[in-house]
Amino acid sequence: MFQEGGLHLHQVFGHSGPLAGDSRRPRYCSQCGTRLAGQVLARFERLRCDGCGHVHYLNPAPGVTMLVKSPVGEILVGRRKATVRYGGKWCLPGGYIEYEESFIDTAHREVREETGLEVRIDGIVNVVSNHLDDSHHTLVIVLLGEILTGSPEPGDDMEALMWIDRQAHAGIDYAFDADQRIVEGYFAGNLQLLPIDARIEQDEPMRPGAGSIVGHG
């Protein structure tokens, strides 16, 4: 747990237990190198530098998850390698959004890396928060799409792939609760599709001022 001046952060802020994200909070300012101090700013417990005033914000990591459906309505899931977190359990293809990418770019890249497939993205079906543990808090855009080209081949963090229908879904040991809920919603017919503005369906790298626009069609 991070310690500030010999104190745990929960002692700095008067908590009886650790703060969320303690293991990810830095000890020193990234701008000037001064040791950071705990402070309450806008109702949230932050680390603020007494040297230069820089505030360290701890934010969820943005990611993308993809529901890849087959022509008969099955969903593709992958079993995670034993060497990665939650190894041996199943999840939807997806991953973190890199700084240079749009969320659309990430979806195409992650599906390609983990399944070998090129996909058509039909739209957004949900956005979920995953607070997995003290070190992992993600905000995930969930997309729905279909195969354009390729045959499923596991890669990257995946050691196996499987198409599942509604019945098979019930027996899957999911790595992430959010994935389980999303797949349940898909098979129950409860997901509503938010189309993605065609102007951001492009392969150009992100550049300053190039925002992503999401519309209703």
Q: Which residues pair with 56 in a beta bridge?
A: 47
Q: Which of 30, 55, 52 lies closest to 44, judged by CA?
A: 55
Its sign, for the CA torsion 86, 87, 92, 94, is positive
**Residue 200: predicted pLDDT:** 64
**Residue 105: predicted pLDDT:** 95
**Residue 47: predicted pLDDT:** 87
Where helices occur in 39-140 by DSSP H, the ranges are: 103-115
**Residue 147: predicted pLDDT:** 97
| C-alpha dihedral, 84 to 85 to 89 to 95, nearest 10° | -80
Phi, psi of 142 (to 5 degrees): -105, 125
Q: List the chain residues with pLDDT less than 70.
A: 1-21, 134, 200-217
**Residue 203: predicted pLDDT:** 47
**Residue 206: predicted pLDDT:** 47
**Residue 37: predicted pLDDT:** 82
Residue 166, SS3 per DSSP? helix
**Residue 202: predicted pLDDT:** 54
At residue 90's C-alpha, the angle toward residues 173 and 161, to 5°, is: 130
At residue 206's C-alpha, the angle toward residues 182 and 63, to 5°, is: 20
Write out pLDDT tens, residues 35-84: 888 878 777 788 889 899 998 888 899 999 999 999 999 999 999 999 99
Residue 193, SS3 per DSSP? coil
**Residue 107: predicted pLDDT:** 97
Q: How far apart are CA 217 and CA 210, in angstroms?
A: 20
**Residue 174: predicted pLDDT:** 97
Q: How far apart are CA 161 and CA 153, in angstroms?
A: 7
Write out the E strands in 24-165: 36-41, 44-49, 55-56, 61-69, 75-80, 90-91, 94-96, 118-133, 136-149, 158-164
**Residue 8: predicted pLDDT:** 37
**Residue 12: predicted pLDDT:** 37
